[in-house]
Structure 1
Amino acid sequence: MFYYLIVIVFCILFYYFGIFKNKYKIDNNYTMIFFIIFLFFSLFLFYMSVYRSLSVGTDTQSYYNYFWNKSYLILFETAIISIYKIIEHSNDFTYFFIICFVIVYGFSLFALKKNMYNFWISYSLFILSFLFFLSYNAVRQSMAISIIFFAMQFIIGNKTSNQSYIKYICLVYIATLFHVSAWIALVFVLLNKIKINKKVYLYSILFITFGYFTEYLKELIYPIISSIEFYNEKYSYNPDFFFEVNKEKGFIQFIPILIQYLFLILFVLKNFAEKLSKKELFVTNYYFIFLFLYSFSGIESIDRIQLYFIPSIIFFYDMLLFKQKNNSLLGISIIVFWVVYFTIRILQGTNGIYPFELRV
């Protein structure tokens, strides 16, 4: 837990620096100091990611085995095969971790810089919600998602053009070379074009709760998901695991969803009287769909799709704090929630990232 405690301390530090930057004019000397701290912290994260034990992360050992038995040649997409072929020359699997970290962390940092109101706040939330839980487990998807996260700069602004949409589609295609499911990101171009009625946001918690605790909606979604040819082929050896409910989730797991939903309602009640910008509309819809997908929680295929909506967490709370920059209680509530949520998930051993160990 020692390594994760260091992560938490630095996330709180960066978060509050971002809060102060929202409220006050910060001297450039302080910004430079925090930038230096950020560089050292990035090296620390690099060290954790690259030199973690094969037991850290649900898929880490599998990717190591693929390297030695050459099964990656028939299992994976073009970009992943290329990474394996690059590291074949060194015969050292460490380079796989290095390349994966550089792709995920690099594209995500550029995304934060391009897409967010406040880099420091969004960076803290990226670490607490995305980096460990995604890149240590859904290895290929995390690289695809980070590329899409970066690409969103071309579709969220008020001034989008045909050229920007072409750039976005090209980047989505590149993401599919890491994980073919990234094609789902094409639907994101619609998120800033649809304004959902405020009542839908307010009352959808009833639908989410019903879906979360019952099997009815999950039984309805089964024939839809199972009809997707790619997933059918890939998981033909074990369709029950991928298409049917395979995870039991109770009330304790539902509490964080409810809290996140309350933050969304706070934003809707305070801001829907005014005209939202295209970016605000995009972010609100993006985050709403992320929460809505909990209606089908427990189905592996839906959980995999939901991963593409995880960046909405970073988008939403960055926007919420920007719109409510003078609300100190809100700022405290958000960081307390995400630190507690991060800590509990770590201690529960979610995704196999605890206990954290280094390779000998």
Structure 2
Amino acid sequence: MVPIQNLYYLLCYAWNRLPAHGEWQRVDTSTFHRPLELLTHMLLIGTRRLLQQGLPLGYAEREDELSELRGRVLLTPTIARDLLRQGRAVCAYDELGPNTPFNTLLAGTLEVLARTRHLPTSLRQEVRRVRARFPEEIEPAPFTRHQLRTVRRLRLPGPEGFLLNLCDLIYRTALPEPDTEGRTRFYDFRRDEVLMAQIFERFVRNFFRLEQRRYRVLSETISWQAQADDAADLDLLPSMITDTTLETPERKIILDTKYYTAAFKPHYDRQRLISPHLYQLYAYLQNQPAPANQQLEGVLLYPAATHTADLRYTLGGFPVRVVTIDLNQPWSGIAADLLALVA
């Protein structure tokens, strides 16, 4: 597992929302023994703030037996209950209130956390106190992937989007089935290399978007410099999408992040770079139509775990750097090292 001292900052940058003041700045990751404790603490901070400002309202569909028509009349239950002779009908209508998909998901997540044994008793008690501050009409939604996707489609703004990312990560670290007492078990998501690779990639890209102004930062699709007898055959070529591209009129850096515990792998009695990673970056550089006056270069960036490296090559006329960054150092050191990569 890659050692990480500032998981909090990694997540904030990965989700493109770094809280800048107040209680957020007092988050000390060293006091949390498990990542779930940190995620829960962050969720509580954001939820308290949302409750102070007032939970967002939205329209939710309700079904009621009414004496006055409202919205749509549901004929099947109305006839089945023989309501028409009573001057009543079952109606479906939209009502403005706090019982929105996001609020119900947030309430459902808090209820799951309040029951798990993976949190200290004091933190579970605080979760229950915050959950008790929700209005009674908010019905906690099931803690499911379907519910998360439903809320994700709403494209929530800043604070709500940040809390949704926390709920999503908490869900992704939950084991498939709860225990016999209805408590959900969780695993340490830092051991999930696929998930951490996604977080690491977004962290690096958003860090450069937020912390420097010299380069335009994007993830771009590179077209193959290829020809075919049948133009349709070109569609079969694999996509080339960069993790991070930093560009000025004079310089372009293709930065590929790789979340591996080592930038090398053993080959007989020697250590060598991981060849598919180097081939991929080289393909990006070879197929990049850069202007004549623009310097094109590539960087392979790994977290430093078992080895550190800072290797420089010229491949096919392009400067290429293979470098590791220590994520287990104070945040100021991580920020300085990243900025030095493109200085």
TM-score, normalisation: structure 1: 0.25
Q: Which has the higher contact order (CA 8 A, sep 6+)?
A: 1
The structure with the largest helix share of the pair is 1
The structure with the largest strand share of the pair is 2
TM-score, normalisation: structure 2: 0.26
Larger Rg: 2
